[in-house]
């Protein structure tokens, strides 16, 4: 869809285009529920919003910095003094100095005005291919006690790792277990950018909230749920909440898992075996058990189970983990044989080494982690975003003829080892 | 007390197990059949110690960290 003047491509609730000299760019400070709220606006659209106080302000800045980094940009800030309370309606906003994009030799700068802050151009204004989240009613729906932050500048579409928005999951409703970090977080972010409504499911609530912030989530397009996936009651509640909030369930990503290092088989503690199996296998079983009826009730859906190369090769440093991941592969096959005919595609991926907090934490030392890159055909382990790309394809309608399959994604490592 | 120290030692040495403790402390207490006092210690001061550890604890630092956390446990139980 295109607006009358043709300079905006409005698609999937996002606007993708390069701002022009005629754009109105302002930043305003408003009184929020608990603290002042910074709103950056491009024309009538909110580009970004945040709570400029204390830790949340710092979190917000980190988010904006990350986004700007995707266009080789740098956000220049003067951070508040540590522990310094920020009070008053406009305090904190004038801490922003400029948004700098060296690849375009341009930057935006804020100038203080009574009650508001005007953003003016010192040179050419350019957000690269800015992706701007369109907020309902042109105003961000602020929630008390929540750290919602609207999507911000991101995704130069020619920059490695960035993707052109295509709405591949537009209006689909997805549950992502293990969405608080690593691969699960990357999937949440990717799905959000592709127009899905995402339920971030995890036991780590603090990190799940961070995922929502990184997604630029609003209550209309994302939520989170604290769930222990090995508990039947909690899983059923998770599915019910997703359907209640968003009206349907189209996609389930089973990403939650634990990896506990163990010695060789005869020395493995039974309790660690049980703990791993209950999370990694029973958890996937329960999520499928409750998600599939919700999907078939609405014509079908797509499930992607996250296994591991440990479940393919039978190697690794955890016996129960490797066996549990093999179980996930076979669970996928069995479930697909039973529910593909009812419109639910069920697939699996088996990643090799991926740079995630879990992998870094489960590798004995920083040196050992660095050593993983050596001897790899690509000279490096994968990134969570690269895994999310495959999951996106499997979850989307582009994979409409794919079910019961397991995809190895390891940068050619296994092939090279044959 | 020894069961609690065993849990703490594992959690110091293994990040995956540490996560299981941090985000499922009641489940861990049940599986290890901890007493009420031990469960309270695990979900309180021990959890605080574990959550402050680096990711991962470097191999050379593991014995010292384990001894430190065990000291916290022993000190609490004595008092």
- Is the peptide bond between A129 and the residue preceding it cis, with omega within 30 degrees of 0? no
* CB atoms A361 and B56 under 8 Å: yes
The region of weakest confidence among A50-64, A112-126, A217-231 is A112-126
What residues form DSSP beta bridges with A175?
A199, A252
* CB atoms A365 and B59 under 8 Å: yes
Tell whether the model's pLDDT for residue A280 goes beyond 90. Answer: yes
Q: Which one is predicted more confidently, A60 or B14?
A: B14
Is any Cβ of chain A less than 8 angstroms from the Cβ of B14?
A: yes
What residues form DSSP beta bridges with A350?
A408
- Give residue-wise pLDDT tens across range A105-159: 233 333 333 332 233 222 222 222 222 222 233 222 222 222 222 222 222 222 2
Q: Which helix (H) or strand (E) holds A99?
A: strand A96-101
Q: How many residues does chain A have?
A: 418
Is any Cβ of chain A less than 8 angstroms from the Cβ of B59?
A: yes
Q: Which one is predicted more confidently, A94 or A349?
A: A349
A321 is an active site residue: yes
Tell whether the model's pLDDT for residue A267 goes beyond 50. Answer: yes
Give the range of the structural domain holding residue B59, as residue numbers without chain letter: 2-78
CA distances, A189 to each of A40, A84, A116, A199, A330 (Å):
21, 32, 32, 11, 28
First to last CA, chain A: 50
Q: Where are the beta strands (DSSP E) in A114-272?
A: 116-121, 130-133, 173-177, 197-202, 222-226, 251-254
What residues form DSSP beta bridges with A38?
A29, A50
pLDDT band, residue A8 (cuts 50/70/90): very low
Q: Which one is predicted more confidently, A315 or B23?
A: B23
Is any Cβ of chain B less than 8 angstroms from the Cβ of A360?
A: yes
Strand order in the sheet with A130-133: A9-11, A14-17, A130-133
CA distances, A26 to each of A105, A109, A141, A256, A401 (Å):
20, 10, 18, 41, 48
Instruction: Give pLDDT, residue A19.
Output: 43
Domain ranges in chain A are 9-138, 173-417
- Give residue-wise pLDDT tens across range A322-362: 999 999 999 999 999 999 999 999 999 999 989 888 787 77
Q: Determine the distance in angstroms separating the CA of B19 from the nearest CA of chain A, rounded to an integer.
A: 8
Number of domains present in the structure of chain B: 1
What is the overall mean pLDDT for chain A? 70
The whole-number average pLDDT for the span A232-248 is 96
pLDDT band, residue A372 (cuts 50/70/90): confident
Residues of B in contact with A228 (CB under 8 A): 24, 27
The whole-number average pLDDT for the span B65-79 is 86
Q: Which helix (H) or strand (E) holds A352?
A: none
Q: Whose CA is closest to A18, among A155, A119, A114, A177?
A: A155
Residues of B in contact with A271 (CB under 8 A): 31-32
* CB atoms B24 and A260 under 8 Å: no
Q: How is residue A155 written in tokens?
A: 């995704």
As assigned by CATH, the class of the A173-417 domain is alpha beta
What pTM did the predictor assign?
0.69
CA distances, B40 to each of A115, A227, B69 (Å):
50, 22, 15
Neighbours of A20 (CB within 10 A): 9
ipTM of this predicted structure: 0.92
Residue identified by tokens 């591991």 is A308
């Amino acid at each position: 869809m295109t607006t009358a003047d043709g300079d905006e491509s409005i698609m999937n609730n996002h606007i993708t285009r390069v701002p022009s000299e005629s754009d109105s760019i302002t930043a305003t400070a408003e009184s929020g529920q608990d603290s002042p709220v910074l709103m950056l606006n491009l024309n009538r659209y909110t580009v970004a919003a945040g709570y400029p106080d204390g830790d949340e302000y710092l979190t917000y800045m980190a988010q904006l910095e990350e986004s700007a980094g995707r266009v080789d940009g740098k956000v220049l800030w003067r951070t508040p003094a540590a522990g310094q309370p920020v009070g008053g309606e406009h305090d904190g906003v004038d801490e922003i100095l400029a948004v700098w994009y060296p690849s375009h030799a341009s930057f935006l700068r804020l100038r203080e005005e009574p009650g508001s802050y005007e953003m003016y151009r010192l040179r050419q204004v350019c957000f690269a291919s800015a992706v701007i989240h369109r907020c309902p009613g042109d105003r961000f729906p602020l929630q008390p006690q929540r750290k919602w932050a609207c999507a911000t500048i991101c995704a130069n579409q020619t920059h490695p790792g960035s993707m052109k928005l295509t709405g591949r999951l537009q209006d689909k409703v997805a549950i992502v277990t293990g969405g608080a970090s690593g691969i699960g977080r990357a999937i949440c972010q990717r799905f959000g950018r592709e127009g899905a409504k995402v339920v971030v499911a995890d036991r780590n609530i603090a990190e799940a909230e961070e995922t929502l912030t990184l997604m630029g989530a609003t209550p209309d397009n994302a939520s989170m749920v604290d769930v222990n996936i090995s508990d039947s009651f909690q899983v059923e509640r998770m599915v019910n909440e997703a359907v209640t909030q968003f009206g349907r369930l189209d996609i389930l990503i089973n990403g939650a898992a634990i990896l506990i290092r163990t010695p060789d088989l005869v020395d493995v503690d039974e309790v660690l075996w049980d703990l791993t199996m209950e999370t990694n296998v029973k958890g996937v079983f329960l999520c499928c058990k409750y998600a599939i009826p919700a999907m078939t009730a609405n014509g079908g859906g797509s499930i992607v189970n996250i296994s591991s190369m440990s479940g393919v090769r039978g190697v690794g440093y955890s016996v129960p983990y490797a066996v549990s991941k093999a179980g996930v592969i076979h669970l996928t096959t069995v479930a697909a044989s039973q529910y593909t005919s009812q419109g639910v595609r069920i697939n699996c991926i088996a990643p090799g080494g991926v740079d995630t907090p879990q992998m870094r934490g489960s590798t004995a030392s920083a040196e050992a982690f660095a050593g993983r890159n050596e001897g790899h055909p690509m000279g490096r382990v994968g990134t969570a975003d690269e895994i999310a790309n495959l999951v996106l394809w499997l979850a989307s309608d582009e994979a409409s003829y794919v079910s019961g399959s397991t995809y190895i994604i390891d940068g050619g490592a296994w092939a090279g080892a044959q | 007390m020894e069961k609690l120290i065993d849990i703490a030692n594992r959690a110091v040495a293994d990040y995956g197990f540490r996560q299981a403790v941090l985000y499922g402390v009641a489940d861990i207490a049940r599986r290890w059949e901890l007493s009420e006092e031990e469960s309270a210690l695990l979900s309180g001061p021990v959890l605080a110690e574990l959550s402050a550890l680096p990711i991962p604890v470097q191999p050379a630092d593991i014995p010292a960290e384990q001894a430190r956390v065990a000291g916290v446990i022993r000190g609490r139980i004595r008092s």
